[in-house]
Amino acid sequence: MDFTQEIAKRRTFGIISHPDAGKTTLTEKLLLFGGAIQEAGAVKNNKIKKGATSDFMEIERQRGISVATSVLAFNYQEKKINILDTPGHKDFAEDTFRTLTAVDSVIVVIDVAKGVEEQTEKLVEVCRMRNIPMIVFINKLDREGKDAFDLLDEVEQKLGLKVTPLSFPIGMGYDFKGIYNIWEKNINLFSGDSKKNIEETIAFDDINNPELDTIIGDSAASELRDNLELVYEVYPEFNRDSYLDGTLQPVFFGSALNNFGVRELLDCFIDIAPAPRAKNAEERLVEPEENKFSGFVFKIHANMDPKHRDRLAFIKIVSGTFERNKPYLHVRNNKKLKFSSPNAFFAEKKEIVDISYAGDIVGLHDTGNFKIGDTLTEGENLHFKGIPSFSPEHFRYINNADPMKAKQLMKGVDQLMDEGVAQLFTLDLNGRKIIGTVGALQYEVIQYRLEHEYGAKCSYENFPVHKACWVEPEDEKSEEFTEFKRVKQKFLARDKHGQLVFLADSAFSIQMAQQKYPSVKLHFTSEFN
Ligand code: G4P
């Protein structure tokens, strides 16, 4: 088969949600449909229940053994589907943001009772910024929850989306009778038999067919007719182009746990979700069907076993094919590298493969060559955009607690930063190191890992920072910029790429700086051009 046909079969996406909305359950049901797993419970839930470090360590240990859960692949209706795992816990949000640079679309899971939650808002915002096509799945319809129209309103208002329902619930909770599938024009009746995989669907082209009353009862039938009338009146007709450019989001209802409404979601996904999309590099737009391979590192997974310090770098293939033992250019290092055992992912397993295609993820064993955002090509000098760092929420000085182990500490810190565990800033004034994280949990994780993997000890000291702002002067030589640097001297630092960062101690000081030095632009992410 021509390699472009293989590429056209790929559907690479992520499922995002607030913890507990049902991401793991949905993933598992999707894998069941793909025949990739045989029974429920096969997909490990990577969620952190108590938010304790011990929990995290345990999860990381398990993940280290079965890193393949980072990518779950299966075949369905001639399509190759790659699901990229995105941690739901807020302390690992950065990891999720980066994974979102490697997906071509997403499914957003929302709990019918809880509605739009905090983490969903943050993640959807990132997807919106990048115009990633999104399908919304409202889950747990077997439970009492919010009114369907209220939920659709909430999704539009809180998430800033424009939705159109492609299915609609008939009742809810105790009275949940099933779902009308607007996309396929049929009714799917809910039996409440939770282990059932095969569902009964009844075609209903015409919702006014009196048979509907016989099947679901008079009052439910008339309520459904009223609801659908309102749906057709209020919401735009589904349009694939609008979905693909991120301006319209179809919504499905169901119950992942009961495997209800999941097939409908998957079948629609197969019909509408995009094949691998073109990606912007600093130099040019790279199309997936190009002959030559290119790809970028979006995730690095450490081996938690200190005896094997190798890591697995996850590469999203942007164009062409990736072949085993073929030399590729590591653009940042300007070095050719060959990979004798690239891993591809299937269901919960990983295996060595000879060839992978644009849209796929390959896992490469790495002994320290890769950083997040690195590009691999067949020789061209490309740098993929869209893997910015976001301002951390917490900042602390890191101190060496064992003078004999300074080297180990620096090596450990460097490697953990390359993995994207946290961000390191070096103060211009005195060279002191500051670690910035999204969640406080990471400090314990870093300390633990430095000790167990690198034999180094560290301590922390508070450093009151509100936000890190990446600095972009209009003119490097202007008096205004010189003055800015002089006045803010104590708060200026470099990130890992040497970019200048202003560590502002309050929202007020950011505002003041913007007023006083209008030609010095302050950005909350590291990528702004
Ligand atoms: P997450 O990955 O988004 O964090 O959520 P996960 O799938 O783990 O689901 C969170 C909880 O919600 C689980 O219950 C799960 O069984 C339940 N759940 C998922 N889908 C549905 C649904 O359609 N209906 C109902 N009623 N519940 C659903 P748990 O008690 O926290 O975990 P477990 O002990 O059952 O695994």
Exposure class string for 273-288: b at 16+ Cβ within 10 A, else e: bbbbbebebeeeebeb
Distance CA 512, CA 488 (A): 12
For residue 220, being part of any structural domain is answered with no
Q: Please name which of 175, 108, 173 lies closest in space to residue 146, comparing C-alpha atoms.
A: 173
* pLDDT surpassing 90 at residue 94: no
Tell how far CA 449 is from the center of its chain.
24
Whether residues 61 and 165 share a domain: the answer is yes
- Asked if 115 and 150 sit in the same domain, the reply is yes
Q: Is 23 annotated as a binding residue?
A: yes
Does position 489 have pLDDT exceeding 90, yes or no? yes
Q: Which of 15, 25, 45 to mutate to test the pocket of ligand 1 (most atoms within 8 A of CB)?
A: 25
On whether both 243 and 363 belong to a single domain, the answer is no
Does the annotation list 20 as a binding residue? Answer: yes
Provide the pLDDT confidence category of residue 51 given band limits of 50, 70 and 90.
very low
Query: 354 and 400 share a domain?
Result: no
Q: Is 525 annotated as a binding residue?
A: no
- 42 and 64 in a single domain? The answer is yes
Among 148, 238, 147, 134, residue whose Cα is nearest residue 184 = 238
The pLDDT tens digits for 64-81 are 433 445 788 889 999 999
Instruction: Return the top range by mean pLDDT from 84-88, 128-132, 147-151.
Output: 147-151
Residue in 27, 257, 258 to alter for ligand 1 test, most ligand atoms within 8 A of Cβ: 257
- pLDDT higher than threshold 80 for residue 54: no
Residue 412 labelled as part of a binding site: no
Domain encompassing residue 508: 394-523
Total number of domains constituting the chain: 3
- How high is the pLDDT of residue 459? 96
Give the C-alpha separation, 96 to 18, whole Å.
12
147 CA → ligand 1 middle, Å: 20
Domain-terminating residue out of 325, 343, 377: 377
Give the model's pLDDT for residue 151: 96
Ligand 1 site, residue 46, Cβ cutoff 6 A = no
Considering the entire predicted model, what is its pTM?
Answer: 0.85
Q: How confident is the model at residue 37 (pLDDT cuts 50, 70, 90)?
A: low
Tell me, yes or no, whether 26 lies in a domain.
yes
Distance CA 186, CA 88 (A): 33
- Host H or E run for residue 350: strand 349-352
Amino acid 64: pLDDT: 42
Quick one: 285 and 342 in the same domain? Answer: yes
Nearest CA owner, ligand 1 atom 15: 22
Where residue 286 sits, what CATH number does that domain have? 2.40.30.10
Is residue 513, in this structure, part of any structural domain at all? yes
pLDDT in tens, 163-213: 999 999 998 888 888 899 998 888 888 875 544 444 567 777 788 888 888
Asked if 338 and 468 sit in the same domain, the reply is no
- Is residue 213 one of the residues assigned to a domain? no
Residue 18 CB–ligand 1 contact under 6 Å: no
pLDDT per residue over 276-318, tens digit each? 999 999 999 999 999 999 999 998 887 655 566 678 899 999 9
Per residue in 376-427, pLDDT (tens digit) is 999 999 999 877 777 888 999 999 999 899 999 999 999 888 888 889 999 9
The rounded Å distance from CA 24 to ligand 1 centre is 8
Is the model's pLDDT at 320 over the cut of 70?
A: yes
Ligand 1 centroid distance, CA of 458 (Å): 38
The whole-number pLDDT of residue 210 equals 86
